[in-house]
Amino acid sequence: MKLDRRLALLGVFFLVLNLAIATQYAVSKIGYEYYLVHPCEANIRYIGSDNTSGGRVLRVNGANGTGSLKLVFGNWSAGTNKMYSAAFGIVNEEQVSVSITHINVSSDNATYMKIWLHGDRDANANNTNNDPTTVLMFNNNTVVNTSNTTAWQLAPGNDDPSDMCYNVSDRTNFSTNTTWDETQHVRFSVNNSNAYGIGVLGRTINNASDFVWVQVAIDIPTNANSSGLYTGTIWIHYQADTNSYIL
């Protein structure tokens, strides 16, 4: 019996289609590793500077080790405005530039808090006359910079938690140590060399700073509840560059 040519072509079509959609399975593997380290020695790390009751504003949260950090601002009454121009610093150790996009604060009660990024450690960053690098990030429950912005761009780091650099074009001459605080168990710096982000006052990825200071103001109104503990969490959001720069 002679097969219809159209049926034969249809059979070939289904055979080719079946081959095209056939699933292939394979198994392979790749190892991985990462270390849990102290937050002052991570790839994006936090360092102390300003002091308050009992020592650094920034301190380890609990026993010394690989735990979390917290900011302790002390005891203040209603109607107080207290400014910490360098409550803590952010240092980039990645070999890529890292952008800080926005900061938000979560709390079980009122925050009464303002937060800036800026480069002059001992200047009040509440206006550009005091510090032209200042960027207001959080204004008492209002996120000022949004997630699709770049508020501050840190230059690539050098993977060394013992120092930070205010001009990455010359790490030998423009670096300063981040010393260990034996009381609060954090790294810190009180060096007043100014930090400049990429794009700030003409700085580029080749001569910007790999750190920035964070100013925090506690601005308590006169009608605030005069008793109780105010606690919360500061969320700092980052975005990394996709290109690696070895300096």
Residue 241 has pLDDT above 70, yes or no: no
Contact between residue 232 and residue 106 where contact means Cβ atoms under 8 Å apart = yes
pLDDT (tens digit per residue) in 127-150: 999 999 999 999 998 999 888 889
Question: Which pLDDT belongs to residue 176?
Answer: 97
Average pLDDT over residues 195-217: 97
Helices and strands in the chain: count of H runs, count of E runs: 1, 16
pLDDT (tens digit per residue) in 36-79: 888 999 999 999 999 998 899 999 987 766 678 999 999 999 99
Question: Which pLDDT belongs to residue 244?
Answer: 41
Average pLDDT over residues 89-110: 94
Q: Helix (H, G, I), strand (E, B), or coil: what is residue 194?
A: coil
Q: Helix (H, G, I), strand (E, B), or coil: what is residue 144?
A: coil
Average pLDDT over residues 181-187: 93
In our burial notation (b when 16+ CB lie closer than 10 A, e otherwise), range 150-164 reads ebbbbbbbbeebebb
Whole-prediction pTM value?
0.87
Q: Helix (H, G, I), strand (E, B), or coil: what is residue 122?
A: coil
> In whole angstroms, what is the distance from residue 80 CA to residue 216 CA?
14
Contact between residue 39 and residue 64 where contact means Cβ atoms under 8 Å apart = no
Task: Identify the CA nearest to 181 among candidates 101, 22, 69, 42.
Answer: 69
Confidence of residue 247 (pLDDT cuts 50, 70, 90): very low
Average pLDDT over residues 96-104: 95
Angle 202-205-206 (CA atoms, 0-180°, nearest 5)? 90
Residue 121 neighbours by CB distance under 10 Å: 22
Look up residue 128 and give its amino acid: T
